[in-house]
Amino acid sequence: MGSLEIPANCLYGCQTKRSLINFPIGGIESKMPLQVVHAMALVKKCCAEYHAEIGLMDDKVATAIGEAADEVMAGKLDNHFPLVIYQTGSGTQTNMNVNEVLSNRAIQILGGEVGTKSPVHPNDHVNKGQSSNDSFPTAMHIAIAKMITETTLPGLETLHNSLKEKSEKYADIVKIGRTHCQDATPLTVGQEFSGYAMQVEYGIHRLQNSLPSIYRLALGGTAVGTGLNTSKGYDVAIAARLAKAANLPFVTAPNKFEALAAHDSLVEVSGVLNTVACSLNKIANDLRLLASGPRCGLGELSLPANEPGSSIMPGKVNPTQCEAMTMVCAQVMGNHVAVTIGGAQGQFELNVFKPVMVSNVLHSARLIGDSAKTFTTQCVDGLEVNIARVEELMNASLMLVTALNPHIGYDKASEIAKNAHKNGLTLKEGCVASGHLTAEQFDEWIVPSEMIGPK
């Protein structure tokens, strides 16, 4: 076993050092998310204030803990939290890491000596009324709720607004539709973009509907859900304090046994993020294909030329925002697998995949929020429709023949389309050559702008 000597100027203690020795796993990508650490500091502050208020903690001690917690939440002490997510499945090492840092910083504030555990003890004071088993999942929920409300939802709302604006702007531009990557019947560019906008809107609604389960906090369950070493009303009072401090509608979980032993709410919100990733992947790929070319592809859209696309091909512009978005979606889908497996783990009174679950949910929520915002500002806002190309492709499509079904029947219309394709004729030339209708009837019956909705 390695030395337990604590480096100079470190505010953590031997419990943190043991974790560094026992779990040297991964690099910076494996670090415990600071959002969880900051949320734990908020929990410790609210608990200290509560215990001081009811006379179970000295006011000076509680105030010092609160001041230390404020510094943690402000990011001033981030370098004192070095642990990785691959540790005890309850997050105990991170809880003790936070306890030690807050204890030592509070001791400093009170003029004491770091490491003495006096007058602020990491367990007796900072961890008072808590177990890792209920304080860590409480911090998980706080961190996830803040990430979704502050980053994910705003990013998706930005994207939704831009897609909706495009659907209205291009409402009258008729284009050819495509199904199975083959020509289909016409629709407008606006109708196409309205579908994208609705996908994002549904994602927003799903995320909002998943939040109530995240707002339920485990604190007050302590070790196994019974609330040992707390007083009646503690759980409700702490949830109210956390709600006020975070400006989010947190409440105490109605059943602490479920709140400690299972994290179905995280699996649910991760599933919603996974669904959103599927939607965003589809949208980004559609824009990528519609903008393919610019001369030898579809070329119906022009995406912003944000940077040179090639180190060897001069003037090449690539759909980089679409590529970034689809990579994000792949990562979110992978994260959901880890969260799903994590949600199925744990035995009896405790789920023991807490750190990896919260890390992956936070990662997904952050990625979707950031990429949605960037995709909007760097791609969707600036894209333009190439009207001439849209009209060229629409008028070249043989699937406009579908409008003839009510007039000459499916079989004759099919015959016209196949012969026109075989012989390299335009649809109008094929119709006239068939003898099934005249040029005048073609002009009367084949009107793309009248094919974009029911009669």
| Cα–Cα nearest to 107, from 98, 99, 116 | 116
3-state secondary structure of 349: coil
C-alpha distances (whole Å) from 412 to each of 234, 249, 425, 431, 441 are 78, 64, 16, 10, 15
Q: Could you tell me the sign of the dihedral formed by the alpha carbons of 240, 90, 70, 49, in that order?
A: positive
Catalytic site residue from 118, 205, 310, 421:
310
3-state secondary structure of 217: strand
Active site residue 310: yes
Active site residue 180: yes
Output DSSP code: residue 244. Answer: H
| Cα–Cα nearest to 77, from 97, 55, 52, 92 | 97
Catalytic site residue from 180, 194, 270, 434:
180
The separation between CA 185 and the C-alpha centre of its own chain, rounded to angstroms, equals 35
Bridge partner residues of 178 (DSSP): 183
CB atoms within 10 A of CB 331: 17
The DSSP line for 137-193 is HHHHHHHHHHHIIIIIHHHHHHHHHHHHHHHHHTTT-EEEEEETTEEEEEEEHHHHH
Catalytic site positions: 180, 310
